[in-house]
Amino acid sequence: MRKANLGVAIFLFLIGAIVMFDSVRLGWHYDPSSGPGAGFLPFYLSLGVLLCTGVFIVKQVMQLSKIGVVGDEPLIQEGGLKPILWVLIPSTGMVLLIPLIGLHFAAFVFLLFYMRVVGKIGWLECILVSVLFPIGLYIVFDRLFLIPLPDGMLGNYIKLPF
Amino acid sequence: MAENFHSLMMGISVSMQPYNFMIAMIGLVLGVIVGVLPGLGGANGVAILIPLTVAMQPISGIILLASIYWGALYGGSITSILFNIPGEPWSVATTFDGYPMAKKGHAGKALVLSFFSHFVGAVLGVIMLSFFAPLIAAFALRFGPAEIFSVMVLTFSAFVGLSGKDPYKTLVSIFIGFILAAVGMDIVTGQLRMTFGSIDLMGGFNFIVAVIGLFGLGEIFLTVEEGLKLESTEGGKVTFKDMAWGVKELLIEWKALLLGCIIGCWMGLKPGGATPASFMAYGFAKQSSKHGDEFGQGASAGIIAPEAAAHGAGTSAALPMITLGIPGSPTMAVIMGGLMIFGLLPGPMLFVEHPDFVWGFIGSCWIGNFIGLLVVLAFAPIFAAVLKIRFAIIMPIIVYVCAIGAYAVNNRLIDIYYMIGFGVVGYLFKKLDYPLAPLVLALVLGDMAESALRQALLISGGSPIVLIKPPIALPIMIAAALIFFWPSISGLIKKKRLKVGPG
């Protein structure tokens, strides 16, 4: 966990540095004619991030060099990474499919894949859930509440009858 | 006072109108389901449904959103008690004593105790809301930009000083939240900030998307990592005998109840939210109880205190939201986001400009919490059955619904990508103990805080002294400083006491 702590702190430190860079470009001074510039608050925010993460990084490095990583808990507990990736990668896949085939069809593929391959659930149940849920949500959102959800490139070809 | 009472009655009658009543029922049922399901919490349950409210009247919309919150507050404890799985973070403390009690075969009694304590906490919170909100709002009308900014400083220093988390990490969370809020077009000068030429970043980050990612997906990652272990107990049906017993027990343990209510209302007011309130109440109740050793084995007080605190915090969190525009809990922040979509800016002016809306909302808090109690008492076993559905079916559906919610906020595909990104961030932050609530609150309040600060500085001609101007801003800022340094101050006091005390 200590290494991950350090890594995240360094990442946030870099974000702080980028924001500071940009706020200097935007003008962080108080301008007598127009008041505080657009970079005024971001500058102090990034300063805060740099200071806090800086102190934290120094503390972490000192701790690491003193006691090392011995006896440290890992960030992700044993056997925990696999189920996380099994959620993360298919959901990312679903999101990437949306521009192609639309949200509801992408969700159909995602639901079917996850339940069948990861959850090892019977075919009948899988197909029922992954067909009925997208249809139900389509009716509620797209039809009842008139919120158009992305239908992707397929939308031009497939018009649902309801 | 009489006038407020009249307004309150009017508000209750608004929320009793058939359509609004139906909306409240739907919200409550959805809320309890949201509460029961781990990985789908109050904040993102509300966030997902915000797009649906756009088609409604503002008052019906807010009744729906608030009812989901009340339902989720009630529902979280059902699974804590019956399955030892907290459906919501604020019901973790309930598992300590609720599950042992259920295991002994008193599941019905444990549920009754929890629901009744919730209700008492809610009633106290709503009473505060009804009678103090108009007073605070009237006072807050005198606030200028400097005063508004000082209240925000107070809010965020409470996170740093009173949360008990690493102050550096809390501060970083706050700063990152404000930075995310600043991305996009600057509201004053129209300049593009932190977009680095990207068109997608021009629209900035919507906090509803952030909430869905941080709390929704992040929570799912945590749940699948640990794996869901279902330890079922018998029963869960509530009988009238249980209810009579519950009332008696509440009267016996009135101290724990009162303690829970007070801690809850305090934590709701000072942006902490329901989760820390429940833990704090549990700890205090254990310390102050004569039978402290019974805690953890099914003590009634161990259910009463945290549950009353959680619901007290949940309802009283509406008070700073509606009067000052500063939500007292992450879920309230999302509800406030819903209000802003309607074009209603929470704050003292809301009482002046839309009194019927404000009182309708307060009235619905009364009705919603009361019906919520009846709903959970009657149907607890049915809601508990939701958890019997395998997680491999529920989980992808939650992800799907989250994606719909994230997209529908602004009809932007990029928001779904952000949602996944926020999910990973939420997981990492949770694991590394960076608090998420201040980040979300900073993201919500970012624009408001910044314009308040800039206006205040413009008025003063660039002198920062304006931020500590008496009579209002100065005491608030002093309070903020005291709270910010509270850990070190209380440490000093303890040290002194140790030196002086009998040794």
Does the beta carbon of B412 lie under 8 angstroms from any beta carbon of chain A?
no
Q: What is the mean pLDDT of chain B?
A: 84
Reported as type and span, the H/E element at residue B192 is: strand B192-193
Asked if A149 lies within 8 A of B172 by C-beta distance, the reply is: no
Mean pLDDT is lowest, of B280-284, B388-392, B402-406, B499-503, for B499-503
Name every chain A residue with its beta carbon within 8 A of the beta carbon of B171: 48, 52
Does the beta carbon of B403 lie under 8 angstroms from any beta carbon of chain A?
yes
Name every chain A residue with its beta carbon within 8 A of the beta carbon of B52: 140-141, 145, 147
- Decide if pLDDT at A14 tops 80: yes
Domain ranges of chain B: 2-228+243-500
Cα dist. B446→A42, B209, B319, B424 in Å? 11, 15, 20, 22
pTM reported for the whole predicted model: 0.87
**What's B411's DSSP letter?**
T
Q: Provide the pLDDT for residue B174.
A: 92
Summarised one tens digit per residue, pLDDT across range A59-79 is: 888 888 887 666 677 777 777
Asked if A30 lies within 8 A of B462 by C-beta distance, the reply is: yes
Dihedral pair phi/psi, residue B37, rounded to 5°: -75, 125
Chain B nearest C-alpha distance from A8 (Å): 8
Q: What is the mean pLDDT of residues B209-237?
A: 77
Summarised one tens digit per residue, pLDDT across range B8-56 is: 888 888 888 899 999 999 999 999 988 888 777 788 889 888 888 887 8
Alpha helices of chain A — where are they, by DSSP H?
Answer: 2-26, 40-67, 81-101, 103-113, 123-137
Does the beta carbon of B390 lie under 8 angstroms from any beta carbon of chain A?
yes
> Contact B466/B459 with Cβ under 8 angstroms?
yes
Q: Which residue has the tokens 């996944």?
A: B420
Chain A nearest C-alpha distance from B439 (Å): 13
Summarised one tens digit per residue, pLDDT across range B152-207 is: 888 888 888 877 778 888 899 999 999 998 888 887 777 888 888 788 888 888 88
Q: How many other C-beta atoms lie within 10 A of the C-beta of residue B105?
A: 11
Does the beta carbon of A80 lie under 8 angstroms from any beta carbon of chain B?
yes
Mean pLDDT is lowest, of B146-155, B237-246, B362-371, B481-490, for B237-246
Residue B328 contacts by C-beta under 8 Å, 6 or more apart in sequence?
B268, B269, B270, B271, B272, B273, B313, B316, B317, B318, B319, B320, B321
CA A93 remoteness from chain centre: 13
Among A95, A96, A126, A142, the residue to mutate for chain B (most B Cβ within 10 A): A95
Asked if B400 lies within 8 A of A80 by C-beta distance, the reply is: no
Asked if A87 lies within 8 A of B399 by C-beta distance, the reply is: yes
Q: What percent of chain B has pLDDT over 70?
A: 96
Q: What is the pLDDT confidence band of residue B272, given thresholds at 50, 70 and 90?
A: low
ipTM (interface pTM): 0.91
Asked if A30 lies within 8 A of B457 by C-beta distance, the reply is: yes
Does the beta carbon of B212 lie under 8 angstroms from any beta carbon of chain A?
no
Name every chain A residue with its beta carbon within 8 A of the beta carbon of B434: 8
Q: Provide the pLDDT for residue B499.
A: 67
Asked if B407 lies within 8 A of A150 by C-beta distance, the reply is: yes
Chain B nearest C-alpha distance from A156 (Å): 18
